[in-house]
Amino acid sequence: MRVSVDAEQADDGWPRPYTSFHIHYQATGVGLKPAELEKAIKLSEEKYCSISATLKQAGAVTFDFEVIEADL
């Protein structure tokens, strides 16, 4: 699993607070099911992840994901 985050900051004023976050999940494995990965990500983002809950207070949080099938 690889996770990357892109963020936007306000254009004016200091400090320049973050206004939005986009999280990209990249899962590599054998036989991964995209629907199950999406469900796990949504549970993490909406229910279990303290960091996600904190970021949502600062701005919009969106996500996407991709599944990369690994060779055995």
Could you tell me if 72 and 31 are in contact, meaning their C-beta atoms sit under 8 angstroms apart? no
- So what's the pLDDT on residue 71? 81
- So what's the pLDDT on residue 15? 92
- For the cut 90, the answer to whether the pLDDT of residue 13 exceeds it is no
Residue 31, H or E segment = none
Residue 55's alpha-carbon distances to 27, 31, 32, in angstroms, are 22, 32, 28
Q: Where exactly are the structural domains of the chain?
A: 2-69
2-69 maps to CATH 2.30.30.30: no
Taking only the tens place, the pLDDT of each residue in 18-70 is: 999 999 999 999 999 999 999 999 999 899 999 888 988 888 999 999 999 99
3-class DSSP assignment, residue 58: helix
Could you tell me if 38 and 65 are in contact, meaning their C-beta atoms sit under 8 angstroms apart? yes
- So what's the pLDDT on residue 72? 67
